[in-house]
Amino acid sequence: MSTETKAAAGRDTSRIHNIGYRSYDGRRLGRAYARRSLYSQTLRGSFGLGRSAKSKVLPMLLFGVMTLVAAILVAVSMVTPDSTKLVIKYTSYAIYLQAVIGLFIAAQAPQAVSRDLRFKSVPLYFSRPIERADYVLAKLAATASALFILTGAPLLILYVGSLLAKFDFVDQTKWFGQGLVSVALLSVLFAGLGLVMAALTPRRGFGVAAVIAVLTISYGAVSTVQAIAWETGSPGAVEWLGLFSPITLIDGVQTAFLGATSAFPGGEGPGAGTGVVYLFVVLALVAGSYAVLMRRYRRVGL
């Protein structure tokens, strides 16, 4: 039966050259290449590239807000008469715009991991040469890179603007460098926490809500308790309370080591001693996120 239909189709003029199956004898680039491919696919996907127009809207909008605000601040700094530096510190930028960063990670962490879990594409990855650690590292690195682009681009605008305004080159370069280190740390921390939340909630909507909740509720709670502690005359507690939310952790680290001005009540961030604890907690959270993600993918759902 099937041979008849095949012969009929063969006589069709639209199929002149049936070149048959061609085998592939070319190079196979293996595990490291597969990991890089997954990294670039996830990073591009974080900004909606290679996906539908609808999924480009939110990340591009947030990226636009981040850079636009930086451009406005540069303009303000330039037109202010007799100004010798920018109206904002490099290290303060991410703290002021934390809501935008929070929205970005809340929207994009689920697209990085929940899609594969929800549509069960994960077995397709693990039936290929990559290992579990490759998958987790690629996703983590790609999300951190996306956040770094989001938070680093406005700093670059500020830096270029400050050089055009002929502010002091040495000072600006030093502060810009400190700002980049700070947002790099923030990117890795937020990526780790965001991916853990998203990977534990396969439904995308829940993932978005969970990330927003963890970031805003913890920040709201910490800053409220900090304010109460400050008002009731126990300023010593303020610097320790900052350990309990991601954004205040970054604030603490950059206040202690990167010359930032703390946004804590009273403007008193941790000193170098407490700063080490802050840095340790940040690194522990990143390592913990990696461990949780590895555990999450331990059972391959074939």
Please report, as ranges, the residues that interact with another protein according to CB under 8 A: 1-2, 17-24, 26-31, 33-34, 37-38, 41, 50-52, 55, 115-116, 119-121, 123-131, 300, 302
Considering beta carbons, is residue 36 or 85 the nearer one to another protein? 36
Helix axes 30-46, 98-118, angle to 10 degrees: 130
For the CB of residue 145, give the shortest distance to another protein in the complex, in Å.
Answer: 18
For the CB of residue 3, give the shortest distance to another protein in the complex, in Å.
Answer: 10
Considering beta carbons, is residue 128 or 295 the nearer one to another protein? 128
Considering beta carbons, is residue 9 or 213 the nearer one to another protein? 9
Backbone dihedral angles phi then psi of residue 242, each to the nearest 5 degrees = -60, -15
Residue 179 · residue 276 · CB < 8 Å: no
Residue 134 · residue 35 · CB < 8 Å: yes
Considering beta carbons, is residue 25 or 82 the nearer one to another protein? 25
For the CB of residue 65, give the shortest distance to another protein in the complex, in Å.
Answer: 25
Tokens found for residue 65 = 């807000």
How far is the C-alpha of 45 from the C-alpha of 114, rounded, in Å?
13
Neighbour-count burial for 128-158, b at 16+ CB within 10 Å, e otherwise: eebebebbbbbbbbbbbbbbbbbbbebbebb
Considering beta carbons, is residue 20 or 273 the nearer one to another protein? 20
For the CB of residue 216, give the shortest distance to another protein in the complex, in Å.
Answer: 28
Three-point CA angle 97, 287, 145, nearest 5°:
45
For the CB of residue 60, give the shortest distance to another protein in the complex, in Å.
Answer: 17
How far is the C-alpha of 156 from the C-alpha of 154, rounded, in Å?
5
For the CB of residue 103, give the shortest distance to another protein in the complex, in Å.
Answer: 20
Considering beta carbons, is residue 41 or 216 the nearer one to another protein? 41
Q: Give the SS3 label for residue 286.
A: helix
